[in-house]
Structure 1
Amino acid sequence: MQPLTGKELEYIADSMSNEDLLVKQGVVALTHVHNPAVQQLFQQLVKQNQQHYQQLLNTLEQHASLAPKMQ
């Protein structure tokens, strides 16, 4: 496995920020929706975005050992 480039790290950080925002928006939407089918949809979307965030975090953690060490 090769170390991630600076640009790749920026893309991952941006993606994590986007996923986090989507989770927060989904949670807010859940508080305003009263239709059970729509609530279920938002619950699924929130869960999916949380999983994406975790996958991105896991990727960063896997590559942490390859990152150059600060001296």
Structure 2
Amino acid sequence: MQSNQMQALSGKELEYIADSISNEDLLIKQLAATAATTQNSAVRGICLQQMQSHNHHMDVLVQLLQQHQQYAPTQPQ
């Protein structure tokens, strides 16, 4: 098998990715709430920058799942 060939993700890996997506989502929501309520423009700017970063992280995690979807075992119907 070639080293760059994708393999199916294990259940534990899938759980880790799902937890990571959930954590990124929570951070985005907390940053949005802080940005919306702060009076400090510097803090608001940092929150918005961090939201973009965490949105990117979540996009990467979702793309990873989509790339591995074809390797997931199928369930008989």
TM-score category of the 2 structures, normalised to the smaller one: over 0.9
Query: CA separation in 1, counterparts of 2:39 and 2:60?
Result: 31
Corresponding residue for residue 63 of structure 1: 68
TM-score, L = length of structure 2:
0.89
Q: How far does residue 31 in structure 1 lie from its aligned partner after superposition?
A: 1.2
Identity percentage of aligned residues: 45
Q: For structure 1, which runs of at least 5 residues remain unmatched after alignment?
A: none
Q: How far does residue 7 in structure 1 lie from its aligned partner after superposition?
A: 0.2
Q: 17, 24, 36: which one pairs with 2:29? A: 24
Q: For structure 2, which runs of at least 5 residues remain unmatched after alignment?
A: 1-5
Q: After the TM superposition, which residues 1-71 of structure 1 pair with which residues of structure 2 at under 5 Å, given as runs?
A: 1-71=6-76
Q: How far does residue 11 in structure 1 lie from its aligned partner after superposition?
A: 0.1
Query: CA separation in 2, counterparts of 1:65 and 1:2?
Result: 10
Query: CA separation in 2, counterparts of 1:34 and 1:50?
Result: 23
Aligned length: 71
Render the CA deviation track for 1:10-34: whole Å, top value 9, x for unaligned.
0000000000000000000011111
TM-score, L = length of structure 1:
0.96
Q: Radius of gyration: which is bigger?
A: 2
Query: CA separation in 1, counterparts of 2:62 and 2:44?
Result: 27
RMSD of aligned alpha carbons: 0.6
